[in-house]
Structure 1
Protein backbone atom coordinates (compact mmCIF):
# COMPACT_ATOMS: atom_id res chain seq x y z
CA UNK A 1 0.00 0.00 0.00
CA UNK A 2 1.30 3.46 -0.94
CA UNK A 3 2.30 5.44 2.15
CA UNK A 4 0.72 8.89 2.42
CA UNK A 5 0.18 11.68 4.93
CA UNK A 6 -3.62 11.31 4.80
CA UNK A 7 -3.99 11.31 8.59
CA UNK A 8 -2.40 14.76 8.80
CA UNK A 9 -4.61 16.48 6.22
CA UNK A 10 -7.05 19.20 7.27
CA UNK A 11 -10.76 19.00 6.38
CA UNK A 12 -12.20 22.50 6.00
CA UNK A 13 -15.46 24.03 4.79
CA UNK A 14 -15.65 25.95 1.53
CA UNK A 15 -18.87 27.17 0.03
CA UNK A 16 -20.32 28.55 -3.19
CA UNK A 17 -23.65 29.22 -4.84
CA UNK A 18 -25.05 27.96 -8.11
CA UNK A 19 -23.86 30.44 -10.72
CA UNK A 20 -26.22 31.63 -13.43
CA UNK A 21 -25.00 31.11 -17.03
CA UNK A 22 -23.52 34.28 -18.54
CA UNK A 23 -23.87 35.73 -22.06
CA UNK A 24 -22.48 39.27 -22.21
CA UNK A 25 -21.84 38.75 -25.93
CA UNK A 26 -24.17 36.33 -27.79
CA UNK A 27 -21.73 34.79 -30.28
CA UNK A 28 -18.98 32.21 -29.96
CA UNK A 29 -16.58 31.97 -32.90
CA UNK A 30 -15.55 28.49 -34.02
CA UNK A 31 -12.31 27.35 -35.70
CA UNK A 32 -13.76 28.21 -39.13
CA UNK A 33 -14.61 31.76 -38.10
CA UNK A 34 -18.36 31.12 -37.91
CA UNK A 35 -20.50 32.77 -35.24
CA UNK A 36 -22.55 30.39 -33.07
CA UNK A 37 -25.19 30.89 -30.38
CA UNK A 38 -24.84 28.03 -27.90
CA UNK A 39 -25.30 27.01 -24.26
CA UNK A 40 -22.03 27.17 -22.35
CA UNK A 41 -20.80 27.32 -18.73
CA UNK A 42 -22.79 27.77 -15.54
CA UNK A 43 -26.16 26.94 -14.03
CA UNK A 44 -27.63 23.49 -13.61
CA UNK A 45 -27.04 21.22 -16.60
CA UNK A 46 -29.69 18.54 -16.29
CA UNK A 47 -28.91 16.13 -19.10
CA UNK A 48 -25.09 16.09 -19.13
CA UNK A 49 -23.53 13.84 -16.51
CA UNK A 50 -20.34 12.17 -15.35
CA UNK A 51 -19.77 9.15 -17.59
CA UNK A 52 -21.41 10.79 -20.63
CA UNK A 53 -19.36 11.52 -23.79
CA UNK A 54 -17.35 14.74 -23.66
CA UNK A 55 -17.93 15.18 -27.42
CA UNK A 56 -21.04 15.72 -29.52
CA UNK A 57 -22.97 18.21 -27.42
CA UNK A 58 -24.47 21.29 -29.06
CA UNK A 59 -22.66 23.58 -26.65
CA UNK A 60 -19.29 25.01 -25.66
CA UNK A 61 -17.31 24.21 -22.47
CA UNK A 62 -20.37 22.40 -21.04
CA UNK A 63 -20.01 21.57 -17.32
CA UNK A 64 -21.87 18.41 -16.24
CA UNK A 65 -24.22 18.85 -13.27
CA UNK A 66 -24.00 21.96 -11.10
CA UNK A 67 -21.61 24.92 -11.47
CA UNK A 68 -20.85 26.98 -8.36
CA UNK A 69 -18.76 30.04 -7.48
CA UNK A 70 -18.63 33.13 -5.23
CA UNK A 71 -18.80 36.78 -6.28
CA UNK A 72 -16.09 37.76 -3.79
CA UNK A 73 -12.77 37.06 -5.57
CA UNK A 74 -10.93 35.98 -2.43
CA UNK A 75 -13.66 33.59 -1.38
CA UNK A 76 -13.97 32.20 -4.88
CA UNK A 77 -10.20 31.77 -5.02
CA UNK A 78 -10.31 29.68 -1.86
CA UNK A 79 -13.24 27.63 -3.18
CA UNK A 80 -11.37 26.83 -6.39
CA UNK A 81 -8.06 26.19 -4.63
CA UNK A 82 -9.24 24.04 -1.74
CA UNK A 83 -12.10 22.03 -3.26
CA UNK A 84 -10.79 18.70 -4.53
CA UNK A 85 -12.22 16.18 -6.96
CA UNK A 86 -14.13 13.59 -4.96
CA UNK A 87 -14.92 15.90 -2.01
CA UNK A 88 -18.37 15.53 -0.50
CA UNK A 89 -20.76 18.40 -1.27
CA UNK A 90 -24.07 19.22 0.41
CA UNK A 91 -26.88 21.60 -0.50
CA UNK A 92 -27.57 23.87 2.49
CA UNK A 93 -30.40 26.09 1.21
CA UNK A 94 -33.63 25.70 -0.74
CA UNK A 95 -35.90 22.79 -1.54
CA UNK A 96 -32.97 20.40 -2.10
CA UNK A 97 -31.43 21.17 1.30
CA UNK A 98 -29.55 18.15 2.62
CA UNK A 99 -28.88 16.58 -0.79
CA UNK A 100 -25.34 15.24 -1.13
CA UNK A 101 -23.02 14.97 -4.09
CA UNK A 102 -19.36 15.11 -5.12
CA UNK A 103 -16.96 17.62 -6.63
CA UNK A 104 -16.09 16.41 -10.14
CA UNK A 105 -13.95 19.25 -11.49
CA UNK A 106 -12.47 22.72 -11.21
CA UNK A 107 -12.83 24.89 -14.33
CA UNK A 108 -10.36 27.75 -14.78
CA UNK A 109 -11.13 31.01 -16.52
CA UNK A 110 -14.78 31.02 -15.49
CA UNK A 111 -13.51 29.82 -12.06
CA UNK A 112 -16.28 27.33 -11.37
CA UNK A 113 -16.28 24.28 -9.15
CA UNK A 114 -18.36 21.54 -10.80
CA UNK A 115 -20.48 19.27 -8.61
CA UNK A 116 -22.43 16.05 -9.21
CA UNK A 117 -25.88 15.50 -7.71
CA UNK A 118 -28.56 12.90 -8.39
CA UNK A 119 -31.23 13.76 -10.99
CA UNK A 120 -34.01 14.00 -8.41
CA UNK A 121 -31.96 16.52 -6.45
CA UNK A 122 -31.17 18.63 -9.53
CA UNK A 123 -34.91 19.07 -10.13
CA UNK A 124 -35.29 20.68 -6.70
CA UNK A 125 -32.33 23.06 -7.03
CA UNK A 126 -32.32 26.66 -8.28
CA UNK A 127 -29.71 29.26 -9.19
CA UNK A 128 -28.21 30.85 -6.05
CA UNK A 129 -28.76 27.77 -3.87
CA UNK A 130 -25.74 27.45 -1.59
CA UNK A 131 -23.53 24.36 -1.56
CA UNK A 132 -21.07 23.44 1.19
CA UNK A 133 -18.00 21.34 0.40
CA UNK A 134 -15.79 19.44 2.83
CA UNK A 135 -12.47 20.51 1.29
CA UNK A 136 -10.01 17.69 1.84
CA UNK A 137 -6.92 16.78 -0.14
CA UNK A 138 -4.61 19.71 -0.82
CA UNK A 139 -1.25 18.84 0.75
CA UNK A 140 -1.59 15.12 0.06
CA UNK A 141 1.86 13.55 -0.31
CA UNK A 142 3.17 10.15 -1.38
CA UNK A 143 5.82 9.66 1.29
CA UNK A 144 8.03 7.27 -0.71
CA UNK A 145 7.73 9.33 -3.92
CA UNK A 146 8.63 12.94 -3.05
CA UNK A 147 9.11 13.86 -6.71
CA UNK A 148 5.47 13.08 -7.49
CA UNK A 149 3.06 15.86 -6.56
CA UNK A 150 -0.60 15.12 -5.87
CA UNK A 151 -3.16 17.92 -6.02
CA UNK A 152 -6.90 18.65 -6.08
CA UNK A 153 -7.79 15.03 -5.22
CA UNK A 154 -9.81 13.77 -2.28
CA UNK A 155 -7.63 11.22 -0.39
CA UNK A 156 -10.51 8.74 -0.17
CA UNK A 157 -10.89 8.85 -3.95
CA UNK A 158 -7.10 8.48 -4.29
CA UNK A 159 -7.36 5.19 -2.40
CA UNK A 160 -10.12 3.91 -4.73
CA UNK A 161 -8.33 4.49 -8.04
CA UNK A 162 -6.17 1.37 -7.71
CA UNK A 163 -2.76 2.97 -8.03
CA UNK A 164 0.06 0.41 -7.80
CA UNK A 165 3.76 0.56 -7.03
CA UNK A 166 6.25 -1.00 -9.44
CA UNK A 167 9.54 -2.75 -8.80
CA UNK A 168 11.50 0.04 -10.50
CA UNK A 169 10.40 2.83 -8.14
CA UNK A 170 7.45 4.12 -10.13
CA UNK A 171 3.68 4.04 -9.77
CA UNK A 172 1.02 2.78 -12.18
CA UNK A 173 -2.23 4.70 -12.65
CA UNK A 174 -5.21 3.46 -14.69
CA UNK A 175 -6.05 5.84 -17.55
CA UNK A 176 -8.44 5.81 -20.49
CA UNK A 177 -6.05 7.53 -22.90
CA UNK A 178 -2.70 9.27 -23.31
CA UNK A 179 -2.45 12.82 -24.66
CA UNK A 180 0.71 14.16 -26.34
CA UNK A 181 1.97 17.52 -25.07
CA UNK A 182 1.44 19.29 -28.40
CA UNK A 183 -2.34 18.90 -28.04
CA UNK A 184 -2.53 20.79 -24.75
CA UNK A 185 -3.83 24.31 -25.31
CA UNK A 186 -5.83 26.91 -23.41
CA UNK A 187 -4.42 27.23 -19.88
CA UNK A 188 -0.76 26.65 -20.82
CA UNK A 189 1.45 29.00 -18.81
CA UNK A 190 -0.92 29.36 -15.87
CA UNK A 191 1.10 29.98 -12.69
CA UNK A 192 -0.46 27.15 -10.67
CA UNK A 193 -2.01 23.77 -11.37
CA UNK A 194 -3.59 23.53 -7.94
CA UNK A 195 -6.84 24.93 -9.31
CA UNK A 196 -8.60 25.18 -12.64
CA UNK A 197 -7.88 23.12 -15.75
CA UNK A 198 -6.38 23.28 -19.22
CA UNK A 199 -7.75 22.09 -22.54
CA UNK A 200 -6.98 19.35 -25.03
CA UNK A 201 -7.04 21.05 -28.44
CA UNK A 202 -9.40 19.23 -30.78
CA UNK A 203 -9.46 21.19 -34.04
CA UNK A 204 -7.36 18.47 -35.74
CA UNK A 205 -9.95 15.69 -35.86
CA UNK A 206 -7.60 13.09 -37.34
CA UNK A 207 -5.08 13.44 -34.52
CA UNK A 208 -7.84 13.40 -31.91
CA UNK A 209 -9.15 10.14 -33.38
CA UNK A 210 -5.63 8.67 -33.65
CA UNK A 211 -5.19 8.88 -29.88
CA UNK A 212 -8.76 7.79 -29.12
CA UNK A 213 -9.58 11.14 -27.56
CA UNK A 214 -12.88 11.40 -29.44
CA UNK A 215 -14.18 8.67 -27.11
CA UNK A 216 -13.40 10.54 -23.87
CA UNK A 217 -16.11 10.86 -21.24
CA UNK A 218 -16.68 13.28 -18.38
CA UNK A 219 -14.72 11.93 -15.40
CA UNK A 220 -12.19 9.91 -17.41
CA UNK A 221 -8.60 9.77 -16.17
CA UNK A 222 -6.01 10.67 -18.81
CA UNK A 223 -2.21 10.76 -18.92
CA UNK A 224 -0.54 13.86 -20.34
CA UNK A 225 2.82 12.98 -21.85
CA UNK A 226 5.74 15.48 -21.49
CA UNK A 227 3.50 17.84 -19.49
CA UNK A 228 4.85 19.35 -16.27
CA UNK A 229 2.25 20.67 -13.82
CA UNK A 230 4.51 21.08 -10.80
CA UNK A 231 4.63 24.88 -10.61
CA UNK A 232 2.26 25.83 -13.39
CA UNK A 233 1.49 24.28 -16.77
CA UNK A 234 4.06 23.73 -19.48
CA UNK A 235 6.11 21.36 -21.62
CA UNK A 236 8.98 19.29 -20.21
CA UNK A 237 10.40 16.23 -21.95
CA UNK A 238 9.88 13.16 -19.77
CA UNK A 239 7.39 14.79 -17.41
CA UNK A 240 4.08 13.02 -16.79
CA UNK A 241 0.76 14.33 -15.48
CA UNK A 242 -2.55 12.66 -14.68
CA UNK A 243 -5.82 14.55 -14.98
CA UNK A 244 -9.60 14.23 -15.05
CA UNK A 245 -11.88 15.32 -17.91
CA UNK A 246 -14.10 18.02 -16.37
CA UNK A 247 -15.88 19.85 -19.19
CA UNK A 248 -16.95 19.18 -22.77
CA UNK A 249 -15.30 19.70 -26.12
CA UNK A 250 -15.34 23.30 -27.41
CA UNK A 251 -15.77 25.07 -30.72
CA UNK A 252 -13.13 27.74 -30.07
CA UNK A 253 -9.58 27.58 -31.42
CA UNK A 254 -7.07 26.26 -28.88
CA UNK A 255 -9.78 24.72 -26.72
CA UNK A 256 -11.37 21.32 -26.12
CA UNK A 257 -12.20 18.99 -23.22
CA UNK A 258 -10.85 20.40 -19.95
CA UNK A 259 -8.39 18.50 -17.76
CA UNK A 260 -8.04 19.16 -14.03
CA UNK A 261 -4.65 17.83 -12.88
CA UNK A 262 -4.51 15.45 -9.92
CA UNK A 263 -0.91 14.21 -10.15
CA UNK A 264 2.36 15.25 -11.81
CA UNK A 265 6.10 14.52 -11.91
CA UNK A 266 8.99 16.21 -13.71
CA UNK A 267 10.46 12.75 -14.28
CA UNK A 268 8.83 9.68 -15.83
CA UNK A 269 7.82 8.24 -12.46
CA UNK A 270 4.16 7.74 -13.39
CA UNK A 271 3.09 4.98 -15.77
CA UNK A 272 -0.31 4.88 -17.38
CA UNK A 273 -2.13 1.56 -17.61
CA UNK A 274 -4.94 1.58 -20.19
CA UNK A 275 -8.31 0.83 -18.61
CA UNK A 276 -11.60 1.84 -20.24
CA UNK A 277 -13.24 1.98 -16.79
CA UNK A 278 -10.77 4.54 -15.38
CA UNK A 279 -13.44 7.13 -14.57
CA UNK A 280 -14.09 8.88 -11.26
CA UNK A 281 -17.78 8.03 -11.67
CA UNK A 282 -16.94 4.34 -11.30
CA UNK A 283 -14.72 4.95 -8.26
CA UNK A 284 -17.39 7.13 -6.61
CA UNK A 285 -20.16 4.70 -7.66
CA UNK A 286 -22.24 7.40 -9.37
CA UNK A 287 -22.47 5.90 -12.89
Structure 2
Protein backbone atom coordinates (compact mmCIF):
# COMPACT_ATOMS: atom_id res chain seq x y z
CA UNK A 1 0.00 0.00 0.00
CA UNK A 2 1.13 3.54 -0.75
CA UNK A 3 2.11 5.11 2.58
CA UNK A 4 0.44 8.31 3.72
CA UNK A 5 -0.17 10.40 6.84
CA UNK A 6 -3.25 8.55 8.07
CA UNK A 7 -2.42 9.01 11.76
CA UNK A 8 -2.37 12.81 11.34
CA UNK A 9 -5.73 13.22 9.63
CA UNK A 10 -8.51 14.81 11.66
CA UNK A 11 -11.89 13.08 11.84
CA UNK A 12 -14.80 15.46 12.37
CA UNK A 13 -18.56 15.03 12.21
CA UNK A 14 -20.42 17.17 9.68
CA UNK A 15 -24.15 16.98 9.12
CA UNK A 16 -26.60 17.99 6.45
CA UNK A 17 -30.18 17.25 5.56
CA UNK A 18 -31.68 15.82 2.42
CA UNK A 19 -32.26 18.77 0.13
CA UNK A 20 -35.45 19.18 -1.91
CA UNK A 21 -35.21 18.87 -5.67
CA UNK A 22 -34.57 22.27 -7.27
CA UNK A 23 -35.80 23.70 -10.59
CA UNK A 24 -35.90 27.15 -12.13
CA UNK A 25 -39.20 28.86 -12.87
CA UNK A 26 -39.10 28.22 -16.61
CA UNK A 27 -37.27 26.64 -19.51
CA UNK A 28 -33.52 26.29 -19.71
CA UNK A 29 -31.85 26.38 -23.12
CA UNK A 30 -29.55 23.69 -24.53
CA UNK A 31 -26.24 24.49 -26.19
CA UNK A 32 -27.99 24.07 -29.57
CA UNK A 33 -30.79 26.51 -28.71
CA UNK A 34 -33.51 24.00 -27.83
CA UNK A 35 -35.50 24.81 -24.67
CA UNK A 36 -36.09 22.08 -22.10
CA UNK A 37 -37.66 21.31 -18.74
CA UNK A 38 -36.13 18.22 -17.10
CA UNK A 39 -35.31 16.86 -13.64
CA UNK A 40 -32.10 18.31 -12.21
CA UNK A 41 -30.33 18.66 -8.88
CA UNK A 42 -31.39 17.77 -5.36
CA UNK A 43 -33.77 15.42 -3.65
CA UNK A 44 -33.65 11.62 -3.55
CA UNK A 45 -32.94 10.15 -6.98
CA UNK A 46 -34.16 6.58 -6.85
CA UNK A 47 -33.10 5.12 -10.18
CA UNK A 48 -29.87 6.98 -11.02
CA UNK A 49 -26.96 5.20 -9.38
CA UNK A 50 -23.20 5.02 -9.05
CA UNK A 51 -21.96 2.92 -11.96
CA UNK A 52 -24.74 3.97 -14.38
CA UNK A 53 -23.92 5.80 -17.61
CA UNK A 54 -23.96 9.59 -17.21
CA UNK A 55 -24.99 10.49 -20.77
CA UNK A 56 -28.21 8.48 -21.11
CA UNK A 57 -30.59 10.25 -18.70
CA UNK A 58 -33.41 12.63 -19.60
CA UNK A 59 -32.13 15.13 -17.03
CA UNK A 60 -29.71 17.99 -16.43
CA UNK A 61 -27.02 17.91 -13.68
CA UNK A 62 -28.77 14.89 -12.14
CA UNK A 63 -27.20 13.83 -8.83
CA UNK A 64 -27.25 10.07 -8.14
CA UNK A 65 -28.64 8.88 -4.82
CA UNK A 66 -29.17 11.44 -2.05
CA UNK A 67 -28.30 15.14 -2.14
CA UNK A 68 -27.63 16.85 1.19
CA UNK A 69 -26.99 20.42 2.28
CA UNK A 70 -27.13 22.57 5.43
CA UNK A 71 -30.41 24.40 6.01
CA UNK A 72 -30.39 28.17 6.45
CA UNK A 73 -30.86 27.94 10.24
CA UNK A 74 -27.36 26.55 10.78
CA UNK A 75 -24.38 28.79 11.60
CA UNK A 76 -22.66 30.66 8.80
CA UNK A 77 -19.91 28.50 7.36
CA UNK A 78 -21.56 25.20 8.27
CA UNK A 79 -22.28 24.34 4.63
CA UNK A 80 -18.69 25.23 3.74
CA UNK A 81 -17.56 22.66 6.30
CA UNK A 82 -20.00 20.06 4.98
CA UNK A 83 -18.97 20.48 1.35
CA UNK A 84 -15.23 21.01 1.83
CA UNK A 85 -14.50 18.53 4.62
CA UNK A 86 -16.62 15.68 3.24
CA UNK A 87 -14.47 13.40 1.09
CA UNK A 88 -15.40 10.78 -1.47
CA UNK A 89 -15.60 7.42 0.30
CA UNK A 90 -16.39 8.88 3.76
CA UNK A 91 -19.01 6.93 5.68
CA UNK A 92 -22.41 8.57 6.04
CA UNK A 93 -25.12 7.66 8.55
CA UNK A 94 -28.82 8.52 8.67
CA UNK A 95 -29.49 10.10 12.08
CA UNK A 96 -33.22 10.90 11.83
CA UNK A 97 -36.39 9.52 10.27
CA UNK A 98 -37.53 6.02 9.34
CA UNK A 99 -34.09 4.97 8.03
CA UNK A 100 -32.23 6.10 11.16
CA UNK A 101 -29.03 4.09 11.62
CA UNK A 102 -28.58 3.15 7.94
CA UNK A 103 -25.11 3.72 6.47
CA UNK A 104 -23.78 4.74 3.07
CA UNK A 105 -20.88 6.54 1.39
CA UNK A 106 -20.11 10.01 0.07
CA UNK A 107 -19.78 9.69 -3.72
CA UNK A 108 -19.22 13.27 -4.81
CA UNK A 109 -19.56 17.00 -4.28
CA UNK A 110 -21.42 19.41 -6.55
CA UNK A 111 -20.49 23.07 -6.90
CA UNK A 112 -22.93 25.94 -7.40
CA UNK A 113 -25.81 24.36 -5.48
CA UNK A 114 -23.18 23.05 -2.99
CA UNK A 115 -24.62 19.59 -2.46
CA UNK A 116 -22.79 16.59 -1.03
CA UNK A 117 -23.89 13.39 -2.80
CA UNK A 118 -24.40 10.19 -0.82
CA UNK A 119 -25.01 6.58 -1.83
CA UNK A 120 -27.45 4.40 0.11
CA UNK A 121 -28.79 0.93 -0.86
CA UNK A 122 -32.26 0.76 -2.41
CA UNK A 123 -33.91 -0.50 0.76
CA UNK A 124 -32.69 2.63 2.55
CA UNK A 125 -33.58 5.09 -0.22
CA UNK A 126 -37.25 4.15 -0.03
CA UNK A 127 -37.35 4.88 3.71
CA UNK A 128 -35.78 8.31 3.39
CA UNK A 129 -37.64 11.59 3.08
CA UNK A 130 -36.74 15.19 2.32
CA UNK A 131 -35.32 16.80 5.45
CA UNK A 132 -33.90 13.63 7.00
CA UNK A 133 -30.51 14.34 8.56
CA UNK A 134 -27.32 12.64 7.42
CA UNK A 135 -24.10 12.75 9.46
CA UNK A 136 -20.72 12.16 7.81
CA UNK A 137 -17.51 11.11 9.50
CA UNK A 138 -15.44 13.56 7.48
CA UNK A 139 -11.73 12.97 7.05
CA UNK A 140 -9.25 13.05 4.22
CA UNK A 141 -8.52 16.74 3.63
CA UNK A 142 -4.84 17.17 4.44
CA UNK A 143 -3.89 13.72 3.17
CA UNK A 144 -0.32 13.62 1.83
CA UNK A 145 1.65 10.79 0.24
CA UNK A 146 4.87 10.16 2.18
CA UNK A 147 7.15 9.62 -0.81
CA UNK A 148 5.44 12.13 -3.12
CA UNK A 149 4.52 15.16 -0.99
CA UNK A 150 4.31 17.46 -4.03
CA UNK A 151 1.22 15.63 -5.25
CA UNK A 152 -1.74 17.50 -3.78
CA UNK A 153 -4.46 15.15 -2.59
CA UNK A 154 -7.97 16.46 -1.89
CA UNK A 155 -11.56 15.27 -1.46
CA UNK A 156 -10.37 11.67 -1.02
CA UNK A 157 -11.11 9.61 2.09
CA UNK A 158 -8.62 7.19 3.64
CA UNK A 159 -11.29 4.49 3.19
CA UNK A 160 -11.20 4.93 -0.59
CA UNK A 161 -7.48 5.73 -0.84
CA UNK A 162 -6.61 2.38 0.70
CA UNK A 163 -8.96 0.45 -1.59
CA UNK A 164 -7.69 1.99 -4.83
CA UNK A 165 -4.98 -0.07 -6.59
CA UNK A 166 -2.38 2.70 -6.36
CA UNK A 167 1.34 2.14 -6.73
CA UNK A 168 4.56 4.13 -6.94
CA UNK A 169 6.99 3.20 -9.72
CA UNK A 170 10.07 5.18 -10.71
CA UNK A 171 8.96 8.10 -8.57
CA UNK A 172 5.48 8.36 -10.10
CA UNK A 173 2.06 7.59 -8.63
CA UNK A 174 0.32 5.02 -10.82
CA UNK A 175 -3.43 5.75 -10.82
CA UNK A 176 -6.00 3.62 -12.67
CA UNK A 177 -8.37 5.69 -14.85
CA UNK A 178 -11.02 4.83 -17.42
CA UNK A 179 -10.12 7.71 -19.76
CA UNK A 180 -7.97 10.80 -20.26
CA UNK A 181 -9.68 14.12 -20.97
CA UNK A 182 -7.94 16.89 -22.95
CA UNK A 183 -7.98 20.32 -21.24
CA UNK A 184 -10.02 22.06 -23.93
CA UNK A 185 -13.04 19.95 -22.96
CA UNK A 186 -13.17 21.23 -19.37
CA UNK A 187 -15.72 23.98 -18.77
CA UNK A 188 -17.99 25.25 -16.01
CA UNK A 189 -16.07 25.61 -12.73
CA UNK A 190 -12.80 26.77 -14.30
CA UNK A 191 -11.26 29.69 -12.43
CA UNK A 192 -12.66 28.83 -9.02
CA UNK A 193 -10.40 29.64 -6.08
CA UNK A 194 -10.31 26.07 -4.77
CA UNK A 195 -10.88 22.54 -6.04
CA UNK A 196 -11.45 21.29 -2.48
CA UNK A 197 -15.18 21.82 -2.88
CA UNK A 198 -17.64 20.99 -5.60
CA UNK A 199 -16.69 19.92 -9.11
CA UNK A 200 -16.18 21.17 -12.63
CA UNK A 201 -17.71 20.02 -15.87
CA UNK A 202 -16.60 18.11 -18.92
CA UNK A 203 -18.28 19.94 -21.82
CA UNK A 204 -20.36 17.74 -24.11
CA UNK A 205 -21.57 19.86 -27.04
CA UNK A 206 -19.25 18.04 -29.50
CA UNK A 207 -20.29 14.38 -29.44
CA UNK A 208 -17.69 13.37 -32.05
CA UNK A 209 -14.83 14.49 -29.78
CA UNK A 210 -16.41 12.66 -26.85
CA UNK A 211 -16.51 9.46 -28.88
CA UNK A 212 -12.91 9.95 -29.97
CA UNK A 213 -11.78 9.88 -26.33
CA UNK A 214 -14.33 7.29 -25.16
CA UNK A 215 -16.09 9.88 -23.00
CA UNK A 216 -19.57 9.14 -24.34
CA UNK A 217 -19.54 5.98 -22.20
CA UNK A 218 -18.56 7.52 -18.85
CA UNK A 219 -20.28 6.29 -15.68
CA UNK A 220 -21.01 7.86 -12.31
CA UNK A 221 -18.02 7.05 -10.13
CA UNK A 222 -15.52 6.67 -12.98
CA UNK A 223 -12.02 7.89 -12.23
CA UNK A 224 -10.59 10.01 -15.05
CA UNK A 225 -7.36 11.89 -15.83
CA UNK A 226 -7.49 15.58 -16.77
CA UNK A 227 -4.52 16.39 -18.99
CA UNK A 228 -2.69 19.74 -18.66
CA UNK A 229 -4.85 20.84 -15.73
CA UNK A 230 -3.60 22.31 -12.44
CA UNK A 231 -6.13 21.97 -9.62
CA UNK A 232 -3.83 22.78 -6.68
CA UNK A 233 -5.25 26.22 -5.86
CA UNK A 234 -8.27 26.35 -8.11
CA UNK A 235 -8.86 25.03 -11.61
CA UNK A 236 -6.78 26.20 -14.54
CA UNK A 237 -4.83 25.13 -17.63
CA UNK A 238 -1.13 24.44 -17.13
CA UNK A 239 0.85 22.55 -19.74
CA UNK A 240 2.39 19.39 -18.30
CA UNK A 241 0.21 19.37 -15.19
CA UNK A 242 -2.28 16.60 -14.53
CA UNK A 243 -5.29 16.07 -12.30
CA UNK A 244 -7.31 12.98 -11.42
CA UNK A 245 -11.00 13.19 -10.60
CA UNK A 246 -14.23 11.27 -10.04
CA UNK A 247 -17.34 11.70 -12.22
CA UNK A 248 -20.08 12.79 -9.81
CA UNK A 249 -23.17 14.04 -11.68
CA UNK A 250 -24.90 13.46 -15.01
CA UNK A 251 -24.53 15.14 -18.35
CA UNK A 252 -25.84 18.71 -18.62
CA UNK A 253 -27.42 20.36 -21.62
CA UNK A 254 -26.37 24.00 -21.17
CA UNK A 255 -23.39 25.40 -23.08
CA UNK A 256 -20.11 24.85 -21.22
CA UNK A 257 -21.57 22.14 -18.98
CA UNK A 258 -21.57 18.36 -18.80
CA UNK A 259 -20.75 15.55 -16.35
CA UNK A 260 -19.20 16.96 -13.17
CA UNK A 261 -15.75 15.88 -11.98
CA UNK A 262 -14.50 16.22 -8.38
CA UNK A 263 -10.70 16.35 -8.11
CA UNK A 264 -8.80 13.85 -5.94
CA UNK A 265 -5.14 14.22 -7.10
CA UNK A 266 -3.24 17.01 -8.88
CA UNK A 267 0.39 17.78 -9.70
CA UNK A 268 2.24 20.22 -11.97
CA UNK A 269 4.84 17.71 -13.17
CA UNK A 270 4.75 14.11 -14.38
CA UNK A 271 4.60 12.66 -10.86
CA UNK A 272 1.18 11.16 -11.65
CA UNK A 273 0.90 8.47 -14.32
CA UNK A 274 -2.64 7.52 -15.41
CA UNK A 275 -3.02 3.84 -16.24
CA UNK A 276 -6.07 2.86 -18.30
CA UNK A 277 -8.31 0.40 -16.45
CA UNK A 278 -11.97 -0.09 -17.36
CA UNK A 279 -12.68 -1.11 -13.74
CA UNK A 280 -11.50 2.23 -12.30
CA UNK A 281 -14.77 3.20 -10.65
CA UNK A 282 -15.53 3.86 -6.98
CA UNK A 283 -18.48 1.46 -7.19
CA UNK A 284 -15.96 -1.37 -7.54
CA UNK A 285 -13.61 -0.06 -4.85
CA UNK A 286 -16.33 0.56 -2.25
CA UNK A 287 -18.18 -2.70 -3.05
CA UNK A 288 -21.30 -0.79 -4.04
CA UNK A 289 -21.71 -2.84 -7.22
CA UNK A 290 -19.51 -4.79 -9.63
CA UNK A 291 -18.96 -3.19 -13.04
TM-score of the two chains, using structure 1 as the length reference: 0.98
- Choose the corresponding residue for 2:165, options 162, 167, 174: 162
Matches within 5 A, 1:132-281: 132-167=135-170, 169-281=171-283
Where has structure 1 moved over 2 Å in runs of 4 or more? Answer: none
How big is the shift at 1:3? 2.1
- May I ask how many residue pairs the two structures share in their alignment? 286
Structure 1 unmatched ranges of 5 or more: none
Distance across 2 between alignment mates of 1:97 and 1:3: 35
| Secondary structure, counterpart of 1:247 in structure 2 | coil
Q: Give the Cα–Cα distance (whole angstroms) in 2 for the partners of residues 4 and 153 of structure 1.
A: 12
Question: What corresponds to 2:38 in structure 1?
Answer: 38
Q: Deviations over 1:62-116 (max 9, x none)?
A: 0000000013451111100100000000000000101100000000001000000
The aligned counterpart of 1:97 is: 100
Counterpart residue number, 2:56:
56
CA deviation after TM superposition for structure 1 residue 51, in Å: 0.4
Secondary structure at the counterpart of residue 84 of structure 2: helix
Q: Using the alignment, how far apart are the partners of 2:131 and 2:71 within structure 1?
A: 11
Provide the C-alpha distance between the structure 2 equivalents of 1:242 and 1:32, rounded to a whole number of angstroms.
30
Q: Distance in 2 between matches of 1:2 and 1:105?
A: 23
Alpha-carbon distance, 1:147 to partner: 1.2
User: 2:31 aligns to what SS in structure 1?
Assistant: coil
Q: Which residue of structure 2 aligns with residue 23 of structure 1?
A: 23
Instruction: Name the SS of the counterpart of 1:251 in structure 2.
Output: coil
* Structure 2 CA distance for aligned equivalents of residues 155 and 218 of structure 1: 20
Query: Structure 2: how far apart are the matches of 1:176 and 1:286?
Result: 18
- When structure 1 is superposed on structure 2, of 219-228 and 150-159 the one drifting more is 150-159
Residue number in structure 1 paired with 2:9: 9
Counterpart residue number, 1:283? 285
Query: How many Å apart are 1:24 and its aligned residue?
Result: 3.4
Moved more, 28-37 or 274-283: 28-37
TM-score, structure 2 as length reference: 0.97
Gaps in structure 2 of 5+ consecutive residues: none
Counterpart position of 1:83: 86
Measured in 1, the distance between the counterparts of 2:77 and 2:33 equals 36
